[in-house]
Amino acid sequence: MLNPPIRTVLDRLYDRYGRPEYSGPDDLLGTLVRTILSQNTNRQNTDRSFARLMDTFGGDWQRIAEAPTEAVVDAIEIGGLARQKAPRIQSILRDVRREHGQYSLEHLRDEGVDEAQSYLESFKGVGPKTAKFTLMYAGGMPVFPMDTHILRLCERLGWTDPKAGSRQAHDFMEPRIPQDEHYAAHIVMIRHGRQTCHARSPDCSDCTLLDLCPYGQNHS
């Protein structure tokens, strides 16, 4: 069992932020593209670049796949790393169309979680975090994506090694979070990272986890 116990930490975070309910499935391909756009940028710029991409090409995946890459770069520029993201998104769209005859990833709902994740990770630019985000948010699958806030919180609580890579951290934490709480745990841990356990100057004196947290006790 981890120390501090996951059960205690999650219950404290639910007490503080409420326990979020999963809002239901969404389009898997759109969520994957949106998640790629979210890499290395904030939520506001992700929303803007996704909206601009959809507006520019009328929400038509085929037009995005076949457009000059420069036009896609222009559409998503506000989200940053556009020269990297645009060709990756176009390549994924073309691969999906070639392999499945349509611009859709809905077939992943009929596959096991491991198969679905491996398939998504076979695309360039899609690592465990992006694959799990897509499968959890759009597919409602039992995976636990760890963003920068969750990785930081797990390290400070002493659950994961700061030197561990993202894949190792995911492999370690996912089986330890109760399956029916993956979504709720993901949301409250991000919320805690944004509101209290900041990267710089965490607000430990106002933290509901202070008595459980080695980092907080050493730094307050």
Positions touching ligand SF4 (CB under 6 A) are 153, 156, 196-197, 202-204, 207, 209-210, 213, 215-216
According to DSSP H, which parts of 57-181 are helical?
A: 61-66, 69-76, 82-100, 113-121, 128-137, 148-156, 166-173
- The values of phi and psi at residue 60, to 5°, are -100, 110
Is 55 or 203 the residue whose CB approaches ligand SF4 more closely? 203
What minimum distance in Å lies between the beta carbon of 156 and ligand SF4?
4
10 Å CB burial of residue 126 (0-12, 13-18, 19+) is buried
For tokens 């790393």, the residue is 81
Is 179 or 217 the residue whose CB approaches ligand SF4 more closely? 217
What minimum distance in Å lies between the beta carbon of 133 and ligand SF4?
22
What minimum distance in Å lies between the beta carbon of 219 and ligand SF4?
7
Instruction: Write the CB contacts of 216 (distance below 8 Å, at least 6 apart in sequence).
Output: 156, 202, 204, 207, 209, 210
What minimum distance in Å lies between the beta carbon of 195 and ligand SF4?
9
Sign of CA dihedral 135, 141, 145, 149: positive
Is 113 or 210 the residue whose CB approaches ligand SF4 more closely? 210
Sign of CA dihedral 135, 140, 143, 144: positive
What minimum distance in Å lies between the beta carbon of 143 and ligand SF4?
23
Is 16 or 48 the residue whose CB approaches ligand SF4 more closely? 16
- Taking the C-alpha atoms of residue 160 and residue 195, their distance in angstroms, rounded to an integer, is 21
Is 20 or 158 the residue whose CB approaches ligand SF4 more closely? 158
